[in-house]
Structure 1
Amino acid sequence: MIVKKGVSGVIKIGPDLYKNVKIDNMKFCDELGRGGFGKVSKGVLGKNVLAVKKIEFERQKEDFDMEKKAFICMELMATCLEKLYKNHLKPQKTTFPECILAKITISVVNGLRYLYDEHKIIHRDLKPNNVLVGHDGKFKLSDFGIAGKVIKSRSNSPKPQRCQIYCSPLNSIHAECDARSDIWSLGITLAELALQKHPYKTEYNNSCTFSSTMGILCQMSVGPPPPLPEMYSSEFHEFVYKCLEKDFFLRPEYRELSKSLWFQNYVVYDADLALWLHNVLEHSQQL
């Protein structure tokens, strides 16, 4: 829910119900992250700790009748996939087990497919930083700031700022308006988790300059698919490369991805994700 300064609100966290919530009464502590639309911090409300995203609005007209700040209160998760591999797995000199990558994939595909099939919404900004994991081992999508409804005419569609190095090559005029743009981002995300770096970044373009970004985009558009670690199965390789099909019309949709052998093998696979995450985080504290 959104709680605006000076306006009462209601927040329900498990069995706890808070009424007449005002943002001034919430205590803020550590910053969890920030992006183009605001920053996320830990907020304490009673005995509960939340993730609170603060969004700043620019007043463009004198009659702009809206608060300049908005606060979105969300469930506090353990971490995101980017921080998980950068801050925990890499220092431990370990990687994502394939079964964990599969469970991440199943959760993300099911979430994206629900959005698209039921609401005709595409995420537009899927990347490791926007997939969260909780201490219970459940994965959730976050940051829908530039998500959009699928419409027939691309000329009328919004053109938000996105993280370009996760975007699908636009070799079709319909590419921005179809779920297959999110499927490309899924492929980049899985390749990054397997490689523990963006698959198209090299020692020569690892910075965030304009020229390095353009180099990455050029590789994504015309270069071969990135090599994946041999420790992962050929079925995993095949799944990722299907997602990274450059031709928009040949790229599979969610129904086809869900029927793939790799996906189906792990749908019934029993993996204790909560225990795996607990062991990873606990080992990090001991380093």
Structure 2
Amino acid sequence: MSTVATKETEDHSFTAPRAEDLAALLVAGDRPLRPSALSASLTFGWRAMLKIKHVPEQLFDVTAFPVMMVLMYTYLFGGALAGSVDAYIQFLLPGILVMSVVMITMYTGVAINTDIDKGVFDRFRTLPIWRPAPMVGYLLGDVVRYFIASVVMLTVGVVIGYRPGGGATGILLGIALLMLFSFSFSWIWTMFGLMLRTEKSVMGVSMMVIFPLTFLSNVFVDPRTMPGWLQAFVNNSPVTHLATAVRELMAGNWPAADIAWSLGWSAAFVLVFGAVTMRLYNRK
């Protein structure tokens, strides 16, 4: 019996491969090229879109929420502020479009914080890719969500009486400027998503920042009706510059100063908060 066991052991014995054979196997083919910064960012952007596919409830904030905002503020304030809904919607819609999309950006920080808590980012950091790619991919995926929200709100606005004087060109220019600003503004929330420990804290801090910034603007009324000290803040708010630029572009005008301010604010957000975000990401 021992002879049989010995024979079976010999039949199933394992011979360790030689180091030369392993080396030849590992270097036999060409190593794949490292993905470019754009390719890696787009891949992570596609990942963000796939998350929406598997959890479609994430589209609630870019569909139902914008519709609610347009209808509520138009019919609530229209008669009191402009005399009629038709008159007020011409002023309100571009502003409420800016306000809604800018408010939606804060969910970026919540999503990043959730992924960090699950340990996904630990894997991302080990990949041989452009280091900011996961962050940029998140924001690129969210730009698609911002675009969906813009289309939904403009569709509702047109149905209830909004008529953009700039036509399709003015609308596209206004949306393009809004998308660029929102992409840049989202870097603030990526910083909070990395800095704070829970998604509830990210949401709470984001609300404290976003509500004063969006409501203290010219979204609802002309700042000339406000007290002087408040006008000074409102007239220099990035949301005010953006809302004015989008409003004028959709009306068929070219507000060069407000466009320049919006682009300047966008660049500042990326340079300042993008740098802080990447520093936190590299050290976390």
TM-score by length of 2: 0.28
Which structure would you say has the larger RCO, counting Cα contacts within 8 Å and 6 or more residues apart? Answer: 2
Greater share of strand: 1
The structure with the larger Rg is 2
Greater share of helix: 2
